[in-house]
């Protein structure tokens, strides 16, 4: 039983370190953040941090992985078989916007990862991570569109991959604008954007698609 408890404690401590690091990185930026401050916020010794992460970059990467994973947790609604493809597309986009809006203080982390992807010392690692993140999001969108085409809901002439790239970019750009302009509410803008777009994708356009998901 002891090894199980130890592993559980290690996992919990690692999560606390990542949570503390996320706050520090978001507030101070990657360059100005220190392992000392992260350790203090996590309520542990600096040496303990290095037992879990070999350096600041490794900890920052773990924070990015946590943020990327958490941002997709609310997107499980797209797996519901009772929803149309149009409803799934809107649900996925809404889940992304809602998550980042509710965790607005974490958005600077995204900007920090972009900066890291362009730096000379860590470019490959973080550029690959961002590429994979965008690829995953594009794939989710493309799969919804392709499924809708197979079910006869969406037009067969649609390029699922192209739409995946463009819709991912639209959501990403909207979130970026809302970060720089706190008065900009992204959710109603997203719905107003998706409504005519998706109706144009339907094989039989209606005035009611897509409906908001409860």
The per-residue pLDDT string of the chain (214 residues; one tens digit each, 9 = 90 and over) reads 455 547 888 889 999 999 999 999 988 988 899 999 999 999 999 999 999 999 999 999 999 899 888 887 767 766 777 889 999 999 999 999 998 888 888 888 888 888 887 776 778 888 888 899 999 999 999 999 999 999 999 999 999 999 999 999 999 999 999 999 989 999 999 999 999 999 999 998 664 455 555 5
For residue 208, give both structure tokens.
Answer: 């009611």
Same domain, 122 and 71: yes
Same domain, 145 and 192: yes
Residue with tokens 């290690």: 10
Give me the sign of the Cα torsion angle 182, 184, 185, 191: negative
3-class SS of residue 20? helix
101 with 186, same domain: the answer is yes
Going by C-alpha positions, the residue among 170, 202, 205 that lies closest to residue 94 is 170
d(CA 175, CA 136): 18
89 and 192 both lie in a single domain = yes
- The pTM of the full predicted model, rounded to 2 decimals, is 0.81
95 and 16 in a common domain: no
Are 122 and 55 in contact by the 8 Å Cβ rule? The answer is no
Indicate the number of domains in the chain.
2
The reply to whether 110 falls in a domain is yes
For residue 202, the cross-strand partners are 154
Q: Please check whether residue 211 lies inside any domain of the structure.
A: no
Q: Is residue 166 part of a domain?
A: yes
Domain limits for position 21: 2-53
Which of 53, 75, 95 terminates a domain? The answer is 53
| CATH at residue 129 | 1.10.357.10
79 is written with which tokens?
């797996």
């Amino acid at each position: 039983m002891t090894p199980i408890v130890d592993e559980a404690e290690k996992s919990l401590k690692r999560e606390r370190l990542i949570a503390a690091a996320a706050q520090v990185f978001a507030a101070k930026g990657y360059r100005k953040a220190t392992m000392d401050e992260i350790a203090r916020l996590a309520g542990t010794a600096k040496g303990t941090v290095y037992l879990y992460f070999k350096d600041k970059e490794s900890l920052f990467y773990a924070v990015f992985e946590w943020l990327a994973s958490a941002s997709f947790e609310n997107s499980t609604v797209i797996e519901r078989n009772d929803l149309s493809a149009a409803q799934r597309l809107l649900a996925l986009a809404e889940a992304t916007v809602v998550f980042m809006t509710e965790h607005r203080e974490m958005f600077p982390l995204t900007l920090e990862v972009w900066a890291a992807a362009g730096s000379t010392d860590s470019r490959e690692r973080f550029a690959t991570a961002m590429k994979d993140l965008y690829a995953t999001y594009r794939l989710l969108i493309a799969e919804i569109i392709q499924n809708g085409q197979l079910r006869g809901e969406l037009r067969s002439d649609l390029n699922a991959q192209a739409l995946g790239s463009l819709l991912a970019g639209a959501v990403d750009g909207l979130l970026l604008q809302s970060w720089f302009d706190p008065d900009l509410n992204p959710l109603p803008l997203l719905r107003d954007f998706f409504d005519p777009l998706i109706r144009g994708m339907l094989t039989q356009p209606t005035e009611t698609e897509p409906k908001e998901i409860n």
